Amino acid sequence: MVVLNDAIDLFSVEGAQDPYPLYDRLRSRGPVHRIGDSAFYAVCGWDAVIEVVGRTEEFSSNLTAAMVYRDGAVTALDMLPLDAPAQVLATADDPTHLVHRKVLIPHLSARRINELESFAADTAHRLWEQAKGDEPIEWMGALANRLPMMVVAELIGVPADDVDQLIRWGCASASILDGITSQDRLEAAGVAALELSGYVTEHFNRAGAVPEPNLMGDIATRCNSGDMDQLTGLAMMLTLFSAGGESTASLLGSAMRILTAFPEIQRRLRDDPALLGRFIEEVLRYEPPFRGHYRHVRHDTTLAGTELAAGSHLLLLWGAANRDPERFDSPHEFSLDRGSTRGHLAFGRGTHFCVGAALARLEARIVLGMLLEDTTWLDAAEVGPWLPSILVRRLEYLRVTIG
C-alpha cells in the first residue's frame, strides 16, 4: 500500500482490524485530518465530533458521496444529490428527518416495544436451542446476525422465512460504503441493492393494496394518500432492511468477543447479573457498531482550525471519539466501573441519535441475559476478522464453546 499520510491508513489491513492505534496517532496531531488528496476529512476528537453534530445547518447528514480506496488513492463514489427525496432517516436533515422519525416513533412505542420484547425473547431462545446442538457454535451466523433481522422483519411486516435472504441482501448492498473494496465487490453490491429494491417494491405495492397494521402498511398508506412521496417511502424501507439490524448484530458480536476475551469480566457478570446494563454500555463505547458516519459540508467554513470548502465531506469517527483520553480515563481499558455508563457516541448524538437504540439495547439484554442463565462458561474457539470496512465494526465470524 502506498502511504500518503496517516489518515490513509484507515484503509489498511491493520487499520481495519485494529484502528485504535491509528486513532491515537491522528488525535495526537489534531482533531481533523484531510484524507490523502481527497475532499474527505477524518474527524477524530471528541469535542470536534460533538461540534459537527451540533452545527447541522453547515454539516448536512445527507449521504452525497462515499470514499473508495484503490491503487493507493481515495476517490469519491457519488451517492445521492443534496436534499434528494431518497435522503431519508439517518441521511436526511431537519425538518425532513423529523418527519421521517415521527413515522417510526409509533412503531417503537412502549406497547410495541413490549410486543417486540416477547417476540425477540422467544426467537432468541429458539435460535439458541437450535445452535447448541452443534459445537463450536458460529455465533454470528447462528444468532447475532439473524435475531436483529428477524426483529426488523417483524417490525416492518415481511415473512420470517425471508430473513436469510434479507441478511444476504442487506449486508451485500451496505458493503458499497465499506471503502475497502474492489470493482467486483462494488458490482456485487449494486446487484444486491437492485434485488433488495425489487423485493421491497413488491411487498410495498402489496401493502398498499391491502394495508396491514405494521410499518410497511403504514408507509404504504401514507404514500397512497399523498402524505409521503413514494420514492421516500421505498427509500425508508430499503434503509431499514440494509441497516436496521446492523447496530444490534455488531453489538452482539462484540459483546461475545469481549466476554470470551476477558475472563474476569465474564466472571463478574456471572457473579452479579445486575452489571449487565453497564456491560452493554461499555461494549458500545469500547467497540461501537459503526466506526463512523459521513457529513456533507454545505458552506465554506472551519472546524477546529481546519478550513473546509463547500462540497467537501467529513467522516465522523465515533470509535475514535469514544476512546478520546480527554473524555475517558484509560480509554483503551474495558471497565465496568466507569462513572457515566451512557456517556458515549455509539448511537450518535443530537437530532440524529439512533431511533432504534432502545430496541438494540433491549435485544442485547435479552440475549446476554439468556446466555448467562443457560451456560456456566463461554470460550472462543476461533475469532474471525473484523469486516474490512471503514464504517462497520462487525466480526465476520466467531466460534464459541459453552460450558
Distance CA 8, CA 1 (A): 10
3-state secondary structure (DSSP) of residue 93: coil
The residue whose grid cell reads 425532513 is 96
The residue whose grid cell reads 469481549 is 258
Q: For residues 390 and 67, is the Cβ–Cβ distance under 8 A?
A: yes
Which of 155, 355, 356, 361 has the alpha carbon at shortest distance from 278?
A: 361
pLDDT in tens, the chain (403 residues): 233 366 788 898 899 999 999 999 999 999 999 998 899 999 999 999 999 999 999 999 999 999 998 877 888 999 999 999 999 999 999 999 999 999 998 888 888 888 899 999 999 999 999 999 888 999 999 999 999 999 999 999 888 888 888 888 888 777 788 888 777 777 887 888 888 889 888 888 888 777 788 898 999 899 989 888 888 988 888 888 877 788 999 999 999 999 999 999 999 999 999 999 999 999 999 999 999 999 999 999 999 999 999 999 999 999 999 999 999 999 999 999 987 767 899 999 988 898 889 999 999 999 999 999 999 999 999 999 999 999 999 999 999 999 8
Beta bridge partners of 293: 316
Q: Calculate ∠ Cα 20-24-30, nearest 5°.
A: 140
Q: For residues 9 and 33, is the Cβ–Cβ distance under 8 A?
A: no
3-state secondary structure (DSSP) of residue 126: helix
Amino acid letter at 206?
A: R
State residue 5's pLDDT score: 61
Beta bridge partners of 59: 297
User: What cell does 348 get?
Assistant: 450518535
Which of 300, 304, 254, 307 has the alpha carbon at shortest distance from 279?
A: 254
List of residues 6+ apart from 172 with CB closer than 8 A: 188, 189, 191, 192, 193
The 3 state secondary structure assigned to 298-341 is CCCEEECCEEECCCCEEEEEHHHHCCCCCCCCCCCCCCCCCCCC
Q: State phi, psi for 178 to the nearest 5 degrees.
A: -65, -30
pLDDT tens digits along 208-257: 777 788 898 999 899 989 888 888 988 888 888 877 788 999 999 999 99
Which of 399, 375, 364 has the alpha carbon at shortest distance from 121?
A: 364
Distance CA 217, CA 211 (A): 5
Which of 168, 144, 149, 171 has the alpha carbon at shortest distance from 160?
A: 149
State residue 294's pLDDT score: 97
Beta bridge partners of 275: none
